[in-house]
Amino acid sequence: MTKSAQTAVVGVTGYAGAELARLLLHHPRLKGKPPVFAGRMDEKDAARGGVPLEEIHPQLADNNGSSSLKVEPFSWERLKDHGVEILFLATPHEQSREWVPEALKHGMRVVDLSGAWRLTDTKNRAVYAFEDDGSDIAVKTQAQAVYGMPELHHKEIANAKLVANPGCYATSVILAVRPLVAAGIVDVPHGIVADAKSGVSGAGKAPTSKTHYMYAADNLSAYGVFSHRHTGELLEQIGIGAGDIVFTPHLLPIPRGIMSTIYVRFNDPQTHASVERIYRDFFAASPMVRIYEKTLPQIQYSVRTNFADIGFQISSDGRRAVVVSCLDNLLKGASGQAVQNMNVMLGWNEAEGLA
């Protein structure tokens, strides 16, 4: 266990980057060691030594020194001079493919928030169409990647050099389904249906025609049907085949939050108590998962927290269940989970700085 660590964030300008900066700036273990913020910038900003953090995210300004922080011009030499030990990449997938091998070469441990290194199966990874896929350096780097879901891979994350932070939709569905499938009670060939809905921040900060207010407000739309990038994560982490699940994401006209409603059939009749016991046993050592006994979770209960909330109802014949899973897509679905992974990597309490 280390007492503290020097962190750095590359890609702080987005929604997830802002939340990551906020969490790290207020983390009790990092007092006196604010993160190094770095990114690419034009010559004008580079000439003034970078861009003040509060110009990008005014909400992060406070009286404890963060007002003096800048997003500095990115360079490996600069990160090394700062003594960076844990590097967070909130960068596009392609950028992470380029920078992660370099970071590892410089002896930094990496938490990558992109989808660059989440998938081990070549067929699942094909959705990203990475130009370097199959190259020696990509294969070597992928072999070092650990899927960053502490509820599933705590031991591996603790020793990892590269943690691939899960996708937000994937987190909500995997946490809800994996315990039931692992217990052997789900009739997997019958099929699992995951109907998921996310607020518009899940699409990122860059505006598009479908995240524009005039499109998203007072609307609800499905997208990425049979083709969403998070599907491969579901297959690999739940341990099912491509024909065993239908996952459909929807754009919900709210700023943040995810609700996944999941439909499963059991091999044999179950009771509410038997299913609850499976969840509680599976997550007994997982402080960031809350199991609802009598009610179903709602987005408003988990938004702006790092909790994943899971609740369920059993049909009268005990053969079917509807599972509802909610989380904040920017926290447990992105930056909060990244900090949770950092805590595990450094031997700290998993929930430190989050609960």
What is the distance between the alpha carbons of residues 289 and 305, in angstroms, rounded to a whole number? 11
Q: What angle do CA 97, 351, 159 make, to 5 degrees?
A: 45
Q: Determine contact, residues 105/83, Cβ cutoff 8 Å.
A: no
Cα 25 from Cα 346, distance rounded (Å): 17
Q: Give the type of residue at 183.
A: A
Task: Give the ranges where 35-92 is alpha helix by DSSP (H).
Answer: 43-47, 53-56, 76-81
Amino acid at position 222, single letter: A
Both tokens assigned to 75 = 């360079």
Catalytic site positions: 168
Distance CA 299, CA 254 (A): 10
What string of DSSP letters covers 15-44?
A: HHHHHHHHHHHT-GGGTT-PPEEEE---HH
